[in-house]
Amino acid sequence: MHSSSLGKAVQLNDKMLPYEPEQIGVGIVHIGLGAFHRAHQAWYTHNALSKSNGDWRITAVSMRSQALAHSLEAQDGLYFLEECDAEGATNTLVGSIAHSYSLRDKRRQIVEALAHPDCKIITLTVTEKAYHYDPEAQGIVLDHPDIQEDLEELSAANTVPGLLVHTMNLRRQTGKPGLTILCCDNLPHNGRVVRAVTLTMAEAVDPELAAWIEINVAFPSSMVDRITPAVTEEFARNIEVQTGYSDKCAVRTERFSQWVIEDDFPRGRPAWERAGAVMTSNVGPYEEMKLRMLNGSHSLLAYAGFVSEHPTIKSCMENPVLRALLRRHLRSTAATLKPLPDFDYDDYAEALIDRFDNPNIAHSTFQIAMDGSQKMRQRIFTPTKALAQRGMAYDTYAFATAAWLRYTSGKTESGDIYRLQDPLEKALISSWTGTTTPQEVLAAIGRIDGLIPQTLAGDPRWKARVTSHLGAIQSDGMIKAAQALLDG
């Protein structure tokens, strides 16, 4: 059946959805129309709409892809979400997305949606690099060419901060009310990050605009968790067989989900707590736990696994050495975290291992490995510093750093060449030019501005551990080097 028949089917059979989507207005604009948004925020909002009233459907924005936005719009925003665990899978038709636009060809509609008085919340899943955040300056990288280009012609902004600043300026100029901007990316204190980049860019445009944003825009933090692999053609074919509908926007995800949100929504919000979200006054401990235990472990397995020819997290878990390395890493990571009320980190670690074992989720190590230069600080470097300050062992973190360094060479152990898919790709690859020892590699990459924290780059003990592991990886291979660490 043609994909648009999904929308027609719902019109003919209102029992396909637990509410009438056409009777619900839009109150949210989401930037970052990817698989994760459709598996997470849109799904939570769908479930909230199923259990409570409110005009909280979503206008979803893709910053790049026209194909996805066009396909979803052709399906009236409808798509199937397949939730999987070891026991099997279930499909849910999600109806929370009202419109989907690409910035490449629907800029006017997107700007109107963001500046509309009915828009009360803007949510974001755009990955770490999209914010152009400088953690040392705690603001935006104003001299980045993309930011400079946006500042020259703000109405044609192509970056996320530029689009936010432009539309907040329109709201201010036209007397529209403020709103909440909710970051859902894997960044510590992500609300503060978005606030910082938005305010520093707004200050460069007009100090009065920055003052308006400070008063009228809330920037709560949130922690999101749901493993969502890239969609394959085989999965799309299976969805059509299972449901009877051709769905170009279907998503597969794990059954587990978590969303912890700082409750700061001056103009209201969906009843996300009725869909299972946790509303709190302090997201920080949950963010830290997830970034270090799940995302940090993912990065360790992704770099060690991809270089050693393990294409998925599941295949890493089937390797006894990588599995044992993960267990040791989780134990070390738990030691860096503050206690949470009624929460057991050992139980959480075991739950993570079960999730990584999920036979129905083929999460690509190459997908997880991308943008490492934007992820290593919060996932690996910061907890390394926490362990070092307490005089505790950080060997698995030093190994994760060495595995990442080996990954930046752009070549697997069998000699296959690959793109790093990293904003610092050229600098990382060129760091290997003319280097002959692990010490030279670390020194060259350490010279990339802002990449490795100075507290680590200047620590002889840390450098010795990292270069020792990198030397073992280069001479013996990733798995033997990991086994040597476990045996040591």
Specify the CATH number for the domain of residue 302. 1.10.1040.10
Please state the pTM of the whole predicted model: 0.90
Residue 44 has φ and ψ, to the nearest 5°, of -60, -45
Q: Is the pLDDT of residue 182 over 60?
A: yes
Question: What is the per-residue pLDDT across 244-261, written as a single tens digit (0 to 9) for each?
Answer: 898 999 999 999 999 999
Residue 270: per-residue pLDDT:
99
What band does 15 get if pLDDT is binned at 50, 70 and 90? low
Name the domain count of the chain. 2
For residue 2, pLDDT beyond 50? no
Q: Is the pLDDT of residue 7 over 90?
A: no
The per-residue DSSP string of 424-487 comes to THHHHHHTTTT--SHHHHHHHHHTSTTTS-HHHHT-HHHHHHHHHHHHHHHHH-HHHHHHHHHH
- Report residue 182: phi and psi, to 5°: -110, 110
Residue 161 has pLDDT above 90, yes or no: yes
CA–CA gap between residue 187 and residue 315 (Å, rounded): 27
Residue 227: which CATH number? 3.40.50.720
Same domain, 41 and 25: yes
Question: Is the confidence at residue 389, as pLDDT, over 70?
Answer: yes
Q: How is residue 417 annotated by DSSP? A: B
pLDDT of residue 14: 56
58: β partners:
28, 97
Contact by Cβ (8 Å): 28, 57: yes
Instruction: Quickly state the pLDDT bin for 185 (edges 50, 70, 90).
Output: very high
Residue 135 near residue 94, CB atoms below 8 Å = no
- The confidence score (pLDDT) of residue 457 equals 94
> Which residue segment(s) compose the domain that 395 sits in?
282-485
**Spatial distance between the Cα atoms of 453 and 433, rounded to a whole number of angstroms:** 23
Q: Which tens digit of pLDDT belongs to each residue from 204-221?
A: 999 999 999 999 999 999
Kindly report, residue by residue over 320-379, the tens digit of the pLDDT: 999 999 999 999 999 999 998 888 999 999 999 999 999 999 899 999 999 999 999 999
Give the pLDDT band (50/70/90) at residue 10.
Answer: low
Assess whether 116 and 179 both reside in one domain.
Answer: yes
Based on the domain organization, do 322 and 376 belong to the same domain? yes
* Model confidence at 118: pLDDT above 60: yes
Rounded to whole angstroms, the Cα distance separating 83 from 257 reads 10
Rounded distance between C-alpha atoms, residue 428 and residue 373, angstroms: 9
pLDDT value, residue 342: 84
| Domain shared by 265 and 343, yes or no | no
Question: Domain boundary residue among 280, 297, 323?
Answer: 280
Query: Is the domain of 210 the same as that of 313?
Result: no
Averaged over 269-280, what is the pLDDT? Answer: 98
267 and 290 assigned to the same domain:
no
Q: 69 and 32, same structural domain? A: yes
Mean pLDDT throughout 188-216? 98
Which pLDDT tens digit goes with each residue over 16-32? 899 999 999 999 999 99
Least confident of 15-24, 130-139, 159-168, 417-426: 15-24
Q: Are 402 and 469 spatial neighbours (Cβ–Cβ below 8 Å)? A: yes
Average pLDDT for the chain? 95
Last residue of a domain, one of 224, 247, 280: 280
CA–CA distance, 141 with 449 (Å, rounded to integer): 12
pLDDT at position 406 over 80: yes
Is the pLDDT at 99 greater than 70, yes or no?
yes
Whether residues 290 and 233 share a domain: the answer is no
Q: How far is it, in rounded angstroms, from Cα 121 to Cα 59?
A: 11
Write out the DSSP string of 31-68: E--SHHHHHTHHHHHHHHHHHS-S--EEEEEESS-HHH
Question: Does 368 share its domain with 462?
Answer: yes
Per-residue confidence (pLDDT) for residue 11, from 0 to 100: 56
- Tell whether the model's pLDDT for residue 187 goes beyond 50: yes
Quick check: 182 and 123 in contact, CB under 8 A?
yes
Look up tokens 């040597």; give the residue.
484
Quick one: pLDDT at residue 488?
84
Looking at 222, 249, 280, the residue that finishes a domain is 280
Same structural domain, 375 and 255? no
Res. 1: pLDDT tops 50: no
> From the centroid of its chain, how far is CA 190?
11
pLDDT at 94 over 60: yes
Nearest CA among 224, 217, 25, 258 for reference residue 122: 217
- Say how far apart CA 376 and CA 358 lie, in whole Å: 25
Of residues 184 and 450, which shows the higher confidence score?
A: 184
Rg (alpha carbons) of the chain, rounded to whole number: 23
First to last CA, the chain: 59
Identify the band that residue 403 occupies on the pLDDT scale cut at 50, 70 and 90: very high
Same domain, 251 and 296: no
Alpha carbon distance 331, 317 (integer Å):
17
Q: Dihedral of CA 412/415/421/425: which sign?
A: positive
Query: What are the residue ranges of helices labelled H in 233-371?
Result: 233-243, 284-289, 296-307, 313-317, 320-334, 345-356, 365-369
Give the whole-angstrom CA distance, residue 147 versus residue 219.
21
- pLDDT of 16 reads 81
Cβ atoms of residues 199 and 227 within 8 Å: no
What token pair was written down for 59? Answer: 């206008």
Same domain, 308 and 322: yes
Residue 157: alpha-carbon gap to chain centroid:
22
